[in-house]
Amino acid sequence: MFIQNILFVLLCLPVLGAVGLLFFPKTAVRQMKLFALNISLVTFVCSLNLWIFFDNSTAKFQFVQHMDWLSVLNMNFYVGIDGISLFFMILTTFLVPVCLLISWQSVKHLVREFLVAFLLLESFMLAVFCMLDLLLFYVFFESVLIPMFLIIGVWGSRERKIRAAYQFFLYTLIGSLFMLLAILLIYFQVGTTDLQVLHTVEFSERRQLFLWVAFFLSFAVKVPMIPFHIWLPEAHVEAPTSGSVILAGILLKLGTYGFLRFSIPLFPEATIYFTPLIYTMSVIGIIYASFTTLRQIDLKKIIAYSSVAHMGFVTLGLFSLNMQGVEGAVLLMLSHGFVASALFLCIGILYDRTHTRLIKYYGGLVQTMPLFAFFFFIFTLGNLSLPGTSSFVGEFLILVGVFQTNTFIATLAATGMILGGAYSIWLYNRVVFGNLKPVYINQFADINRREFFILLPFVVCIFWMGIYPSIFLESLHYSVATVLQSIRI
């Protein structure tokens, strides 16, 4: 019974937690934090059941739940997961308690509102990954903007946070409006927005092109692909650490997930038609973002631009339209969820102590913060896709997939791995090695127990995915094969 309703439970738990927080007295800050943390941990444990009870031998949507919503219009609350959405659900529930823990001391004002925003955000993100109705997918895809806008705008670090929040909100909202028009067009042609029904519909080639472009504008902003990426570094720099973790870990994946769930299977001919365009944008994204990363002097901007480069690899893999490329893209999305989040946590740890992210102030931290230096080293290795770490498996599979379809693009994209090594090692070298700069920072504190236990699971996950990726791939095979069946090359 519990397993049958597990998706409803997962969607409702954070919302109930958010409602529960409203009954706490304003002064009970610690109790509110503990309550929110416990709710997020219970949600995480529940989400692990998805993996335990997931049947790898079928491509069908599992744990399916159906509830009438606008039955007159053939629009219903319809949820279910396959191998692709499974790991994003677990990644989401894993990162939320991490975010609550990392902001345990740094968020001091409007604590209740912060916790409510995070729990609602968790529920919306989970809904996006399991929604099987196109219109409700759009609703939750957009709903994510509201708590995230507040998290950046209210709990951000500096004056520019308002500008960054608006930029984030407007960019993504304008992009998504085109998707709403496309959904209306689909509804008036098919008469429903049920994804399972839409999979059986064949749109005319001309209509596919229009619909694909409308969906693309929405997803490309969210990924973000160059030249739609301007909002991302601003949002990362101004967001609190927990906001950056969620942005890098989950929100960027909503766009690539949308490509895989909707654009590729629903509009296969348009997908092939636009593949060289996506390849071009992805390759430029990888190379341009990597060079831009080398130039940055703000620690968060370095990770933000490296995220743009990594997401370039992901879109490249998705549009290689073969098993290796698409599975590599999904693995790299998951890996990036761990690596980039962990790097943002590390930068947050430094910021909590020094209140600056300018790299010029840092140097020689290995002498005073050895534990921090160790963790930062592991995550840097993950960021440069060293063999044995999670990113390597994803990038390697993507390059294998792309090489089969287009050697020219694969060769250009491979330079991104070298550039990734360059900016990652240089970042580590500047922050951790060299001389201490006591003129700027003369008191140091290594990571404490809370921070240690926040970072440790990330190390485990990065090596686990890097050393034994089969466990993830087994759940992906059938779902990815089903998506690719719609493409007849």
Partner 1 sequence: MAGSDPTGVKQNAFVEANGYAREVVERGFRLRPRTIGLFAVFGVFVPTMIYRGAVMDFDANDARYGRPRKKFL
Provide the minimum distance between the beta carbon of 370 and partner 1 in the complex, in angstroms, as a whole number. 10
Task: Let me know: does 259 contact 318? Beta carbons within 8 Å.
Answer: yes
Minimum Å distance from CB 201 to partner 1?
21
Least distance to partner 1 from the beta carbon of 310, Å? 19
- CA nearest to 313, candidates 338, 282, 289, 335: 282
The residue whose two tokens read 């916790």 is 115
> Which chain residues interact with partner 1 by CB under 8 A?
105, 160, 272-277, 279-280, 283-284, 297-298, 349, 352-356, 358, 360-361, 371, 405-409, 412, 439-449, 451-452, 489
**Closest to partner 1 by CB, 49 or 405:** 405
Place of tokens 């590390």: 346
Kindly tell me which of 9 and 214 has the beta carbon lying closer to partner 1: 214
Cα–Cα distances in angstroms (integers) from residue 319 to residues 280, 324, 409, 411, in the given order: 11, 11, 12, 16
Instruction: Rank residues 93 and 157 by Cβ distance to partner 1 and give the closer one.
Output: 157
- How far apart (Å, rounded) are the C-alpha atoms in residues 351 and 238? 12
C-alpha distances out from residue 19 to 13, 89, 120, 191, Å: 10, 22, 10, 36
Residue closer to partner 1 by CB (options 1, 439) is 439
Q: How far is the CB of 295 from partner 1 (least distance, A)?
A: 9
Question: Shortest approach of partner 1 to residue 254 CB, angstroms?
Answer: 25
Least distance in angstroms from the C-beta of 18 to partner 1? 28
Distance CA 480, CA 487 (A): 12
Q: Which of 105, 108, 115, 175 is nearest to 150 (CA)?
A: 115
Q: Give the shortest CB-45-to-partner 1 separation in angstroms.
A: 27
Quote the CA–CA distance of 223 and 307 in Å, as a whole number: 9
Q: Would you say 381 or 402 has its CB closer to partner 1?
A: 402
Instruction: Kindly tell me which of 233 and 469 has the beta carbon lying closer to partner 1.
Output: 233
Identify the CA nearest to 330 among candidates 272, 410, 260: 260
CB 406 to partner 1: min, Å: 5
Report how far residue 319's alpha carbon sits from residue 340's, in angstroms, rounded to the nearest whole number.
23
Report cis status (omega within 30 of 0) of the bond before 147.
no
For the CB of residue 369, give the shortest distance to partner 1 in the complex, in Å: 9
Q: What whole-number distance in Å separates Cα of residue 211 and Cα of residue 205?
A: 10
Residue with tokens 């994209």: 413
8 A C-beta contact, residue 98 and residue 76? no
Measured from the CB atom, the residue of 94 and 274 that comes closer to partner 1 is 274
Question: Which pair of structure tokens corresponds to residue 264?
Answer: 């590729």
Residue corresponding to tokens 């609602």: 120
Please give the backbone phi and psi of residue 124, each rounded to the nearest 5 degrees, phi first. -65, -40
What is the three-class DSSP state of 109?
Answer: coil
Shorter beta-carbon distance to partner 1: residue 1 or 159: 159
Joined together, the tokens standing for residue 59 give 């491509």
* Closest distance to partner 1 from the beta carbon of 282 (Å): 10
Q: Which is nearer to partner 1, 250 or 270 (CB)?
A: 270
Q: Which two tokens stand for residue 74?
A: 């053939």
* CB-nearer residue toward partner 1: 125 or 454: 454
Sequence-ordered list of residues with C-beta below 8 angstroms from that of 251, at least 6 positions apart, any chain: 125, 144, 148, 222
Tell me: cis bond preceding 224? Omega within 30 of 0 counts: yes
Q: How far is the CB of 94 from partner 1 (least distance, A)?
A: 23
Residues 331 and 241 sit within 8 Å (Cβ to Cβ): no
Question: Cβ closer to partner 1: 56 or 356?
Answer: 356
